[in-house]
Amino acid sequence: MNDIQLNTEIDLLITNGDFAVGETTNQDIFLLLSCDKGSIRQHPTIGVGISNMLGDNDINAWKSSIREECNKMGLLIEKLNISNNGQIELQANYK
C-alpha cells in the first residue's frame, strides 16, 4: 500500500521539502505490532501492544492477537512465527 512514509524515529519522512509517499506495508505492520489498543486516535480498537509480550509465555495467544489485528487492517498473513525467545517473523500483504 502507498501512503505517507515515516522515518526511523517514527516521524514524517520529508523528501525535497514535502511528505514522502511510497510503499508502507512493513511500516503499517510495525505500527500495528508496536501500538497498544487506544494509542491510535483514529482507530482506538487496533493494536497488538507487542511490548506487553515480555515475560508472557503464551505464544499462541500472541499469534491469535496478531492474526486478529492484521485481519482488522485488511492484511493477509503469509507467514507468522514467534520463537521461544520472542522473535517475531511476520510476512503479510494487503488483501
- Position 54 scores a pLDDT of 83
- Global pTM? 0.88
H helices present in 13-81, as ranges: 25-34, 59-72
- Position 92 scores a pLDDT of 97
CA 24/CA 36 separation, integer angstroms: 19
Q: Which helix (H) or strand (E) holds 32?
A: helix 25-34
- Position 85 scores a pLDDT of 84
pLDDT along the chain (95 residues), means of 10: 94 96 96 94 94 88 96 97 91 95
